[in-house]
Amino acid sequence: MASYTQFNPARLRSYVLRLPLATRLLLLAIVGLWIAAIPLPWLREWARLEPAKMDLTQMHRLNLFPLMHLNFFHMIFNLFAIAPLLERFESEFGTLVTLALFTGPFGTLPGAMYTLLEKFVFRANTIVMGASVWVFLLLSAEVMKQHKTSPTIAIGPYKIPTWTTPLILVLVTSILVPNVSLIGHLCGAGIGYLWASGYIKFLVPHEKILRWVETKANLLGRLPHYVSVDQKTYGRYGVLPTTSVPMGGIPRSPEPGARPVP
């Protein structure tokens, strides 16, 4: 008799417990804002990105619109879509970099681009909100890395450039899913391409500054699930130097989020 893969709560719990710090905080912010908007519906209007209302007094919208969602299904779908991408990004770049980018430029840049296009090119006022802008940003950045090793993807007799797959997904999503913003998703994907190509890497503070902050505040020792930015010395998860080499000469790394031993 055929067996089917069943939902395993234990595996889901294990995955959630292994999530790095910044990923946890951003996912909690998404869920927290959705819960807060139930008794306080004005929060949704306050946080959404509405091009016609944008001026210097409304800049908070550029940072908050990816965290706010229209309803439960909108929120939960984006939550499952962004969690693995966000975890992968934080594991590569560290907790400080992830928090700095996703509370700053990764919201303001696609949001500002969308606002300018809506107001001055399309002369429209389509309201947007939701973490899908981050989903396509991270997808584009990830695909650009794959493009370097696998420039094309074969679909039957056809070969398409690997880097175009997020754009195809944006188009398919816009056709199949109602009330999604094609322009908003394209803006997110565009920032992802720029990041992966190195054009906006200057937005991240220098590694020496980040390392100094981590050392001065002892973030790796104080914060559970913190991912270090210092790859060269400790590795992303804080591998401490040791005089003895276990496991036949292969150094062993602690699990993500493990604290260093004093």
Q: If you ran DSSP here, which 8-state letter would residue 121 be given?
A: I
Residues 6+ apart with CB under 8 A from 225: 19, 20, 21, 24, 256, 257
Instruction: Calculate the alpha carbon distances from 193 to 33, 98, 142, 149, 209 in Å.
Output: 28, 17, 9, 16, 26
What residues are labeled active site?
132, 185
Q: Token digits for 50?
A: 């509405």
Residues 6+ apart with CB under 8 A from 207: 229, 230
Residues 6+ apart with CB under 8 A from 65: 47, 48, 49, 107, 111, 128, 129, 130, 133
Q: How big is the chain, counted in residues? A: 262
3-state secondary structure (DSSP) of residue 128: strand
Q: If you ran DSSP here, which 8-state letter would residue 56 be given?
A: G
d(CA 199, CA 206): 15
Of 176, 205, 2, nearest in space to 98 by CA: 205
d(CA 260, CA 254): 9
Residues 6+ apart with CB under 8 A from 175: none
- How far does CA 245 lie from the centroid of its chain? 35
